[in-house]
Each structure stands twice: as structure tokens, then as C-alpha cells.
Amino acid sequence: MNRSARAFWLRSPGHGELRDVTLAAPAEGEVLVRALYSGVSRGTETLVFRGQVPESQHAAMRAPFQDGDFPGPVKYGYLSVGKVEQGPAELIGRTVFCLYPHQSRYVVPVSAVTVVPESVPAARAVLAGTVETAVNALWDAAPLIGDRIAVVGGGMVGCSVAALLARFPGVRLQLVDADPARARTAEALGVDFATPEDARGGCDLVVHASATETGLTRALQLLAPEGTVVELSWYGDRRVSLPLGEAFHSRRLTVRSSQVGTVSPAARAGRDYADRMALALDLLADPALDALITGESAFEQLPDVMPKLATGRIPALCHRIRYAEAV
């Protein structure tokens, strides 16, 4: 087997590098995966890259196969797609998704990989982790037929939620974002678009994913009485102020958190993490979701690309990383 690999590390906040890795031979019950693509989760990964993970959240924010500790040096990431080169016979040659950092080859337990359905291209499967977040959010939100719904924040997670909600029968749905350019993405997903000032109110449900204080405030304003905001944004070490006076109590509004690290037993009894990931991959058979991938770079360029993603010089939803073996 080829035991050499390269991995992307955050050396210190704002500075990344590629490091050589020597892999151990896979043991029984393990697989060797050759990476084809990985995805940069622009919200969480750029917070990590800027060193903005609060100390109180260092343990909660660990990725499944993270090496090192926050704020750095740390190897971080969780959107990897590759081919199994060594392992059980039924997996050799199969395309799999794994919650692994940006690395050209890696060895993980068989239980850590999910086979990508043949209906889903490997290049699109990097979205699986984000669609899984959207699935979990909708399990928590439990939208009903005919609901009036807004998704505030047209980033990677918000657009994934909107794409899934577009399949619900009878809903009135808008994607709301301050950037008018997000209208093109909304159109590709088959979703109505509005800027915050033009968004329709009277919503039974608002899913908030803008990671801004103004976005969360606007989400509350869009609710009908007894309505609910499901909060998907993660703010790192930033404090957020909300108008919980005014009509918040008289209108009996609700703000509920949703976080992909937990499958709510109350939301979906009997479903586990593997079920959720398999469902997310099945949903990726829809080619409309290609609209969420807004750029691509070679793995060797990642140390130069990540700072540009973190500062917004490269505007992106999901930025895909291509490994040499994918060509």
C-alpha cells in the first residue's frame, strides 16, 4: 500500500500549511481511503481558521478525526469523499463519505465511512455533512404542510435547508439574504428570494442561519404569533443581543437551538447518526444541489485559499477541494 499522505494543518490562527503524513497499515475493521474531494465548511472552518473557537467550546467543537487542539496547531475538517483502496472486500473500490479533515489518504474504522449511492456524483457528495445538518434542523423544526416559512441566511447551511424545504407540499417559502446575488442560488434551488427589508412576515417558522445579530432579530420580526425561530447559526466567541422585550412575550414567540452533534430523541425516535447520514446522501441525488458548490481549488492551493475564504476575498457557499487522484 501507499503509506504516504499529505494533510492540511492550521499552524496558528490565520496560517495554514501542508504536512507529510505516514499512515499505519489498516487493521481488521479499518479501511484505507484515497481522497477525491473535500469541502470547506465556510462558516465553522473559517471560525476555526481565525482562532475564534471559545475556550469553553474546545471539547464540543472537536471534529471526529481532528488532530491537535484549538486554537492550533490543529488538523480540522469533516467533508471528505474518497475511494476505498484497502479494507473489507465489499468496500474496495467504493466511493465513500467520511467526516475527515483535508488529507490525501487516511485510515479510519469501517464504521466511520458511508457508501455514496451510485446516483450521487463524488464531486457533489462533499455536501453530505451540510445536508445532514439541514436534515437535523428539519427534524427539530418539524414543518407542517401549508406552513409559512422563511430561511434567513443564504449561506451553505441556509441554502441546504431551503433546498429540502422546497420539496415540502403546500408551504410558502422564502430564502432571505442581504446579498442580492443569492437570488441566483435561490432560483437554481426553486425557491423564492427576498432581501431582509422585502421579506414576507407572518411566518409560522423561520430557520435562521446568517450567523449575524441583525439576521436573528429580523427572523423574530418575521414570525406570526406563536411562531418559532430555529437557530442554526454558531457565533463562536461573539455575544449576540436580541429584542426580547417589546412584543416577544405578548406574541408568545419561541427561539429554539438546533445542533448537528445530537440527534434529538424527541424529534426522531429510533434514528441514529448513521441513519441521518445515509438519508443526507440519498437526498444528494438532486442535481439542483450543485448550486451550493461555488468554487474549486486543488489541494496544493489550500494554504493560500483558506485565508481568502476566511476574509471573504473568495465569496463561497461550499468551496470544493480537488485531490490529484480525482483527475
Please name the residue that has the C-alpha cell 441566483.
Answer: 184
The average pLDDT across 104-116 equals 97
Helix axes 302-311, 42-49, angle to 10 degrees: 100
Give the per-residue pLDDT at 261.
72
Segment among 71-85, 145-159, 241-255 with least mean pLDDT:
241-255
Q: How far apart are CA 319 and CA 327, in angstroms?
A: 17
Q: Which residues of 64-79 are buried (b: 16+ CB within 10 A; e: fewer)?
A: ebbeeebbbbbbbbbb
Cis (ω within 30 of 0) for the bond into 71?
yes
Give the per-residue pLDDT at 265.
66
Contact 196, 14 (CB under 8 A): no
Q: How far apart are CA 324 and CA 267, in angstroms?
A: 41
Give the per-residue pLDDT at 234.
80
Please name the residue that has the C-alpha cell 469541502.
Answer: 39
In this structure, whether the domain defined by 131-267 belongs to CATH 3.80.10.10 is answered with: no
Residue-averaged pLDDT of the chain = 93
The average pLDDT across 182-194 equals 97
DSSP secondary structure, 124-148, as one string: TGGGHHHHHHHHHHHHHH---TT-E
Confidence of residue 260 (pLDDT cuts 50, 70, 90): confident
Q: Read off the C-alpha cell for 169.
A: 407540499
3-119+285-322 to CATH, choices 3.30.930.10, 3.60.21.10, 3.30.9.10, 3.90.180.10: 3.90.180.10
β-partners of residue 20 are 6
Give the per-residue pLDDT at 271.
80
Give the per-residue pLDDT at 324.
87
pLDDT digits (tens, 9 = 90+) for 302-326: 999 999 999 989 888 899 999 986 5
Q: Which helix (H) or strand (E) holds 38?
A: strand 30-41
Q: How far is CA 254 from CA 67, 197, 206, 223, in A?
A: 38, 22, 10, 9
| Best CA proximity match to 151, nearest among 198, 185, 188, 194 | 194
Confidence of residue 1 (pLDDT cuts 50, 70, 90): low
In this structure, what DSSP letter does residue 139 have?
A: H
Residue 237: pLDDT above 80? no
Interacting residues of 21 by C-beta distance below 8 A, sequence separation 6+ = 4, 5, 6, 7, 103, 105
- 192 φ/ψ angles, rounded to the nearest 5 degrees: -65, 150
Work out the number of other CB atoms within 10 angstroms of the CB of residue 88: 14
Q: pTM of the predicted model, to two decimals?
A: 0.90
Give the per-residue pLDDT at 118.
96
Query: Which amino acid belongs to residue 76?
Result: Y
Segment among 53-57, 128-132, 199-203 with least mean pLDDT:
53-57
pLDDT digits (tens, 9 = 90+) for 283-295: 999 999 999 999 9
Q: How far apart are CA 286 and CA 7, in angstroms?
A: 31
Give the per-residue pLDDT at 279.
94
Which sequence spans correspond to the domains of the chain? Answer: 3-119+285-322, 131-267
